């Protein structure tokens, strides 16, 4: 049985704000994340490649223009010669070949340009989640960022549900979908994510979507990170495949009454 740990409500630092429709968490903007209790932390040193790319200075106007030489005008002798070659002359247009139909002018299949594969359809927003191995589950709140660029967290009242961070992909889309939940509530009783450390590789997490579909994820690993050394890019960074992150607090310090770590469960889409 997990020891009861005092709840310390506070703002959760988020991944950089970005539209969800991109299918993944974009990491191009500055990491304006505040460290606080019960919250994902931030790398103390920026990861390589985080610097913004310089603005492009090239424009279409900078490309040099080329002037093609004018074609010489046809002489009457040239026109007569062409008329004799094509069989057209005094007989008129009825002797000329008919205009090809669109089908006749299409390029052969093997010469047609390659088409870009269609993007995977977007998944519906999540409605609830369930983790049978630890008996956890709840409806999912949809929460975004506060004005100070920290995540809006679920309430700390007893029985409070977990939340889906709306700046992350919907579970089932490419990229890391992020679910957040408290390890305990305001009365010190276990919260919705209290038993995350009991999960092992291969345990399943199901997410029911608002359209009635279900996405099933399989736990691959779990890590405990100090908030001052939280690997932001590793947790929130873009992924090619649909993945899931469950994040809560850990490392309760009785002397300070605060959580000094975060616990992150990594999972990938089954099948």
- Using one digit for the tens of pLDDT, what is the confidence trace for 184-238? 999 999 999 999 999 999 999 999 999 999 999 999 999 999 999 999 999 999 9
Q: Between 49 and 140, name the one with better pLDDT.
A: 140
With a cut of 50, say whether residue 139 has pLDDT above it: yes
Instruction: Yes or no: say if 246 and 205 are a contact pair by the CB < 8 Å rule.
Output: yes
Distance CA 254, CA 6 (A): 9
Mean pLDDT of the residues in the chain: 72
101 belongs to a structural domain:
no
pLDDT surpasses 80 at 164: yes
B/e letters for 97-115, b = 16+ CB within 10 Å, e = fewer, are eeeeeeeeeeeeeeeeeee
Q: CB under 8 Å to 37, separation ≥6 — which residues?
A: 8, 9, 10, 249, 258, 259
pTM of the model: 0.64
Q: Is residue 233 part of a domain?
A: yes
Q: Could you tell me if residue 118 is inside a domain? A: no
Is the predicted pLDDT of residue 6 greater than 90, yes or no?
no
Does 135 fall in a domain?
yes
DSSP 167-216: TSPPBTBSEEEEEE--SB-TTS-B-TTTTGGG--TT-EEEEEETTS-EEE
With respect to residue 109, please indicate whether it lies within any of the assigned structural domains.
no
Tell me which residue range forms the domain holding 233: 12-19+28-44+123-269
What is the Cα gyration radius of the chain?
A: 31
Contact 170, 177 (CB under 8 A): yes
Q: Is there a domain that residue 76 lies in?
A: no
Indicate whether 54 belongs to any domain: no
Residue 131 lies in a domain: yes
* pLDDT at residue 108 greater than cutoff 60: no
Q: How many domains does the chain fold into?
A: 1
Q: What is the pLDDT of residues 89-100, one digit of tens each?
A: 443 334 433 333
197 close to 222: Cβ distance less than 8 angstroms = yes
In CATH, what number is assigned to the domain containing residue 259? Answer: 2.40.260.10
């Amino acid at each position: 049985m997990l020891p009861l740990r005092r709840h310390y409500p506070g703002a959760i630092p988020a991944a950089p704000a970005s539209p969800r429709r991109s299918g993944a968490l974009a990491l191009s903007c500055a990491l304006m994340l505040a460290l606080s209790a019960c919250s994902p932390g931030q790398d103390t040193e920026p990861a390589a490649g985080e610097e913004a790319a310089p603005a492009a200075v090239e424009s279409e106007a900078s490309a040099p223009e080329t002037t093609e030489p004018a074609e010489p005008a046809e002489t009457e002798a040239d026109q007569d010669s062409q008329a004799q070659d094509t069989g057209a002359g005094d007989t008129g247009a009825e002797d000329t070949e008919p205009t090809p139909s669109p089908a006749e002018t299409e390029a052969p299949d093997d010469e047609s340009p390659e088409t870009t594969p269609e993007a995977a359809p977007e998944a519906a927003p999540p409605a609830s989640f369930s983790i049978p191995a630890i008996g956890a589950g709840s409806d999912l709140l949809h929460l975004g960022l506060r004005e100070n660029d920290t995540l809006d967290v679920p309430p700390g009242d007893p029985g409070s549900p977990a939340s889906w961070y709306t700046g992350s992909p919907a579970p089932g889309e490419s990229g890391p979908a992020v679910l957040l939940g408290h390890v305990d509530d305001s009365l010190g009783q276990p919260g919705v994510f209290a038993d995350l450390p009991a999960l092992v590789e291969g345990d399943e997490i199901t997410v029911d979507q608002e359209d009635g579909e279900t996405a099933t994820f399989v736990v691959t690993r779990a890590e405990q990170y100090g908030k001052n050394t939280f690997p932001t890019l590793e947790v929130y960074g873009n992924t090619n495949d649909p993945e899931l992150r469950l994040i809560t607090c850990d490392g309760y310090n009785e002397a300070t009454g605060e959580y000094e770590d975060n616990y992150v469960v990594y999972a990938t889409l089954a099948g």
